[in-house]
Structure 1
């Protein structure tokens, strides 16, 4: 794809208004006219390999922040645009750069904070990609590349929505706007809490739009109202103070691998549901979703049965899950006839909305200690937690967002939960307790965020931009309170 933007420039004078229907039509025209430039800007962002993990070059994240700041300054609607950092919790090291901006509200209008993140996941192995991960490639109606969906499309949804708003109503807005484009979300947002505290005056808002989630399908929008939390840690199981010959002592001495396998198996029952007493489920209503759809969206092999009990979406959105995401042990190619003294695994537990992540960690710790086989020694370290979240859907911001989505998509949005976690949302709530939180997104079930061949459906993206532009236009007309 070319990285040369079109010559479309946003108008700076408001157009004649013929009621809300006319405004919505003009917003659609503005989104459509600006779409080539929006995609060109997105491809430039995707080409920057802004992986925020410590093993990757931080200069790429800095370059990404500069590129985003340039786009935001080009909107010419903010009183202030800056790139800022905060210290990582518990140390003097600075976190990755974030782009922040603010425009003050006037005449009783509310302020909305628009959040997204410009950092991306590592690409993984190039051979698993059908095209280079940082070379955005259009195939059919999808744009492929790392960050094309998660979450540089979220960044561009904000930019494009503001462009369309200004094109239709002019840049003399009464609506207050704040912008926070984070640079370390994929690395766990280590400086997020300090950043919020330090930039509180800049970021405070009546409503917060977090553009980092999914839609029901390519034709149906969604508002995310429930997110599971997470508890991850390294579990080390030890039974010997040194390795021994498996032929000489096997059958009498429990090696660490045997103990680890037995211990890990205690975490689930025969149906694959979590069997840890104290990990709770939530009572959530879920839409229809059958096994065939699960197989289509996950690649579940023929003959392999789903796990768990209850409705499929209830298992994903409202019940806990535990996954072993890594094991430190000899590879098959380097295996020897040895009784292993220690084995370490990485455990990732997802926590249902309504349960505290710290409490869940203690429940897991108690279970592992109580079920250690053969008296094996257990060590838990490298712990990370994130709180689950339930959206209060009774506020005016949710009503306005639902109406805007229905207008832009031609279908009413579906309220969904997400099995994954966005822990920083709980920190947003803690710092801004009176703000209404809206979790939206530009992804669809086949976007494959975090996986090879991540992609953005252009039709979904176009409708998501229009929905946000319509939401902002609604707030421009709305008096606070």
Structure 2
């Protein structure tokens, strides 16, 4: 090893050590505790001031200390929380990395957490760090920002590349205004590469990169007969029961084994380059994971292919009459909320037309169809040089394998960055599937936080190396 190589390696390790010092000093968890204590529930209008305070008190001061120039962006959707764009430009000739995070969380569900845990107070139990937002997304963006700060310090105040950050406070309500912001501020957000952290790893012991996400389409089917609730003895048999009609309609879309039955909602064939990455991936098996049904969905696919490479149609809600206090009456109304999770290549924008035609053809003309919104599916080509670079950097930092997912099984607003801004997108998640995000007992694993700081610091360091700057300044999607 040459002297120059040894010095560079030592400096890289110094950056990682500085990031890890935030754990030994308590600084990282003190910061996270302060952030978790802010009740940034985007579904609750009463939390609107706190949502803005998260940007005012936590994000903007930190970015300012790191040399970013920040500006607050009013949400293009009226009455919703603002966004923040920060930029740290060292030289316009250098490549630019765009980071993303969100500071809003879901409802605290305070009374339902185990052992009296307060969702707004950081609590440590057996290697788990409990609190609302620890996994989604306060803990994850806190890891990246702490690592970035460590690298800036290790390099003596410089990075060797430019960094921009887009921060929102509405992700948990579907990121309203994010796509419009990316379109309106395309020049301000112009970058060469994209990196963010959200969602889970494949498993807690499997460091993971993912390159996009399945899309999501949510819709509602409703049948209201206009009869009102009518006595089932006096009228049953001569008036329409909307629950029976709707149940039969649903049975034409998804089987009793969870298989999608209509071609227009099915996934395209899984390509070999994607199948190779997901075919043998483990799914579930952890102590807190649900029981996997090997016969559910597309029976010919492996667990990994069913979760990451196929489409699923889920019935999220189904209602008619009352089951808690049933009465002898034909219900007046039945409705179901459906959700399609779909991979790239699915013609999801034609789903409304195709579903309407399908229902009408089978005699379900009276069922009303309402589209509730959705996100596009995205997937960066696994052969893109940015994927290989991040993977190699992370594997060097951990001295171990990093697993690549073509797309997350869930859905994130990646299309804003890949489709609108035209960026190669890589996500480095610092959580795992059993983290209980959106549920009681949400938590991070201390082990994953540590690995996340190591990987992020190593990556932020590697991006500043001379050969990297030259390569990625020329990179195109």
TM-score (norm 2): 0.88
Does residue 244 of structure 2 align to residue 258 of structure 1? yes
Which one of 273, 295, 302 corresponds to residue 311 of structure 1? 302
Contact 1:239 1:341 (C-alpha < 8 Å) held by counterparts: yes
Contact 1:75 1:163 (C-alpha < 8 Å) held by counterparts: no
- Distance change >3 Å, CA 106–CA 18, structure 1 → 2: farther
Q: How far off its partner does 1:395 sit?
A: 2.9
Does residue 62 of structure 2 align to residue 77 of structure 1? no
What's the CA shift string for 1:288-333, capped at 9, x where partnerless?
2467x357553229x9964441111211111111112123434323
Q: How far off its partner does 1:205 sit?
A: 0.8
Equivalent residue pairs, number: 455
Q: How far off its partner does 1:202 sit?
A: 2.6
Does residue 121 of structure 2 align to residue 121 of structure 1? no
- 2:13 is matched with 25
What's the CA shift string for 1:350-373, capped at 9, x where partnerless?
11222132123333333333345x
Secondary structure of 2:335's counterpart equals strand
Contact 2:246 2:367 (C-alpha < 8 Å) held by counterparts: no
- Distance change >3 Å, CA 470–CA 82, structure 1 → 2: same
Does residue 402 of structure 2 align to residue 413 of structure 1? yes
What's the CA shift string for 1:240-275, capped at 9, x where partnerless?
533221112223433111111111122222432111
- Distance change >3 Å, CA 170–CA 409, structure 1 → 2: same
Q: How far off its partner does 1:428 sit?
A: 1.8
CA distance in 2, matches of 1:114, 1:70: 14
Does residue 379 of structure 2 align to residue 390 of structure 1? yes
- 1:98 is matched with 83
Q: How far off its partner does 1:383 sit?
A: 1.9
Q: How far off its partner does 1:147 sit?
A: 0.5
Does residue 29 of structure 2 align to residue 39 of structure 1? yes
Secondary structure of 1:332's counterpart equals coil
Which one of 423, 432, 453 corresponds to residue 421 of structure 2? 432
CA distance in 2, matches of 1:298, 1:362: 37
Q: How far off its partner does 1:123 sit?
A: 2.5
CA distance in 2, matches of 1:330, 1:295: 38
- 1:246 is matched with 232
Secondary structure of 1:201's counterpart equals coil
Secondary structure of 1:443's counterpart equals coil
Q: How far off its partner does 1:112 sit?
A: 0.2
- Distance change >3 Å, CA 361–CA 125, structure 1 → 2: farther
- 1:7 is matched with none
- 2:317 is matched with 326
TM-score (norm 1): 0.88
Contact 2:212 2:425 (C-alpha < 8 Å) held by counterparts: no
CA distance in 1, matches of 2:338, 2:70: 40
Contact 1:400 1:474 (C-alpha < 8 Å) held by counterparts: no
Q: Which runs of 5+ in 1 are unaligned?
A: 1-15
Q: 1:231-380 maps to which residues of 2 (within 5 A)?
A: 231-282=217-268, 283=270, 284-285=274-275, 286-289=278-281, 293=284, 296=287, 298-300=289-291, 306-309=296-299, 310-372=301-363, 375=364, 377-380=366-369
CA RMSD of aligned residues (A): 2.4
Secondary structure of 2:280's counterpart equals coil
Secondary structure of 1:202's counterpart equals coil
CA distance in 2, matches of 1:333, 1:444: 36
Q: Which runs of 5+ in 2 are unaligned?
A: none
- 2:195 is matched with 209
- 2:210 is matched with 224
CA distance in 1, matches of 2:36, 2:414: 25
Name the stretch that deviates more: 171-180 or 363-372: 363-372
CA distance in 2, matches of 1:376, 1:294: 44
What's the CA shift string for 1:181-207, capped at 9, x where partnerless?
211111111111221133323321100
Which one of 91, 110, 118 corresponds to residue 132 of structure 1? 118
Q: How far off its partner does 1:452 sit?
A: 1.5
CA distance in 2, matches of 1:349, 1:191: 22
CA distance in 2, matches of 1:194, 1:178: 18
Contact 1:72 1:81 (C-alpha < 8 Å) held by counterparts: no
CA distance in 1, matches of 2:302, 2:295: 14
CA distance in 2, matches of 1:257, 1:295: 38
